[in-house]
Amino acid sequence: MRNNKYAVSFRIGFQSSLEYRFNFFLSLISAVFPMIVHYYIWTAVYASAGEQQVFGYTYHEMIMYTILAAVISKLVLTHMEYAIAEDIKSGGLNKYIIQPITYFGFRISSYLGQRLIHFATSLIIILVLTFALNNSFNLHTSKERILVFCLSLILSIILSFLISYSICAFAFWLSEISYFFVVTSLLIQIMSGGMFPLEIFGEKLQLLFRFLPFHYLIYFPVNLLNGRIDGPMVWQGLAGQAIWILLLLVICRLVWKQGMKRYLGLGG
């Protein structure tokens, strides 16, 4: 098996996520609280607004957005920046320079392994929630839509890995990095629509966000599933995701190449 070493990385990641079982169960629960909070906020908003639509969303669309965005943001925000920065700072990269395994390959396999359970459970939760919301709100989400959603979710998982991975390259240049990551992950969560739908930011900021890759992480797949994105917009969005993946692959390569030059320069 040519890819055996990556398979092992994948397995190690998977096992380490099982190791701390208490933690693992709790991390599933922690996704529920923001959902509840936002559900009640929006319920209060719609109750007192007395209007059909707020920020262009009907009540049902907004609730669906809120709940799905909470699940998906748990799924797609990687939080692996610290581990990578640690490798860069403490010289942990050295062993990948020597060993015949690329660091990129190791990271993505172990990341996918670590998140496999999250992927599976999140997907089940999303489907169950969609079904439940469909029932209680008398909606009908078509099978085709769910399939397209799954496709866009996979793309956004890959996209989010690439975004994190290229942001990590800052660790080559910045000496104190953990603060930086706290801010970037917060910004990414906001700009991807993980906290609120992007419509609350007003026209101008929204326009800016559309030129950035982040809204493809959460905002796009969620609105795909709740039906707000329709017709040709669907394919436009998927193409946007694909283009950003390609673009970020190039960016990753470039910044890491530069970073490694610096890293080796420092090390030697």
Partner 1 sequence: MPVGNAVEVCQLVKEFEYYKKDIGMRQSLKNLFFRKKLVKKAVNAVSFAIEEGEMVGFLGPNGAGKTTTLKMLSGILHPTSGSANVFGYTPWERKKPFKQLFSIVMGQKSQLWPDLPAGESIYLNKCIYQVPDEEYRRTLDELSGLLEVRKLLGVQVRRLSLGERMKMELIASLIHRPRLMYLDEPTIGLDMMSQRAVRNFLKYYNEQYRATVILTSHYMKDIEDLCSRVILINAGTILYDGELKRIGTRHEERKLIKLFFSEEISPELLLAFGDVKESDGNYAVVEVGKDEVRLCLQQFLDKFPVVDFNIEDLQIEDGIARLYSGSV
Partner 2 sequence: MNVVIELRRHLYLLVLFAKNSLLSQMEYRFNFVAGIFVETAFLMAKLLYVSVVYQTNVHVDGMTPDTILMFMGTHILLTGLYMGLFYNNFLRITEYVRTGMLDLMMVKPVSLQFLVSFRYIETGMPLPNIVAGSVMVAIGWKASEIPFTLFNLGAFLIFLALATILTYCVMIIPALLSFWFVNTSAASEISYSIWDANNMPYMIYNKWIQRIGTFIIPVFIITNYAPLLVLNRLRGIHLLWGILAPLIFFILIRLLWKQALKAYSSSNL
Separation CA 107–CA 6 (nearest Å): 9
Residue 106 identity (one-letter amino acid): F
Q: Which is nearer to partner 2, 6 or 196 (CB)?
A: 196
CA distances from 105 to 4, 9, 87, 258 (A): 11, 9, 15, 18
18 binds, among partner 2, partner 1, none (CB under 5 to 8 A by kind): partner 1
Stretch of 12-20, 64-72, 189-197, 257-265 contacting partner 1, by CB under 8 A = 12-20
Inter-helix orientation angle 59-76/103-137, to 10°: 160
* Total of chain residues touching partner 1, rule CB under 8 A: 6
27 binds, among partner 1, partner 2, none (CB under 5 to 8 A by kind): partner 2
Nearest to 156 by CA among 232, 35, 237, 67: 237
**Beta strands in the chain, from DSSP E residues, in sequence order:** 53-54, 57-58
Nearest to 260 by CA among 103, 70, 150, 141: 103
CA distances from 85 to 76, 101, 173, 178, 262 (A): 19, 18, 11, 8, 14
- What's the closest the beta carbon of residue 187 comes to partner 2, in angstroms? 7
15 binds, among partner 1, partner 2, none (CB under 5 to 8 A by kind): partner 1
Q: Which is nearer to partner 1, 15 or 236 (CB)?
A: 15
11 binds, among partner 2, partner 1, none (CB under 5 to 8 A by kind): partner 1
Stretch of 7-15, 51-59, 118-126, 236-244 contacting partner 1, by CB under 8 A = 7-15
- What's the closest the beta carbon of residue 7 comes to partner 2, in angstroms? 25
- Give, rounded to a whole angstrom, the gap between the first and last alpha carbons of the chain: 34
Nearest to 62 by CA among 159, 198, 164: 198
- What's the closest the beta carbon of residue 12 comes to partner 1, in angstroms? 10
Separation CA 88–CA 60 (nearest Å): 46
Tokens of 243: 């283009």
134 binds, among partner 2, partner 1, none (CB under 5 to 8 A by kind): none
Long-range contacts of 22-25 (CB under 8 A, 24+ apart): 24/117
- What's the closest the beta carbon of residue 2 comes to partner 1, in angstroms? 21
| Alpha carbon of residue 262 to chain centroid | 29
* Pattern 13-42, partner 1, x by CB under 8 A: -xx--xx-x---------------------
- What's the closest the beta carbon of residue 14 comes to partner 1, in angstroms? 7
Using CB under 8 A as the binding rule, whether residue 176 contacts partner 1 is answered as: no
Beta-bridge mates of residue 57: 54
Binding site for partner 2 (CB under 8 A): 20, 22-27, 29-30, 33-34, 36-37, 40-41, 43-45, 48-49, 54-55, 176, 179-180, 182-183, 186-187, 190, 195-196, 200
1 binds, among partner 1, partner 2, none (CB under 5 to 8 A by kind): none
- Residues engaged in binding partner 1 (CB under 8 A): 11, 14-15, 18-19, 21
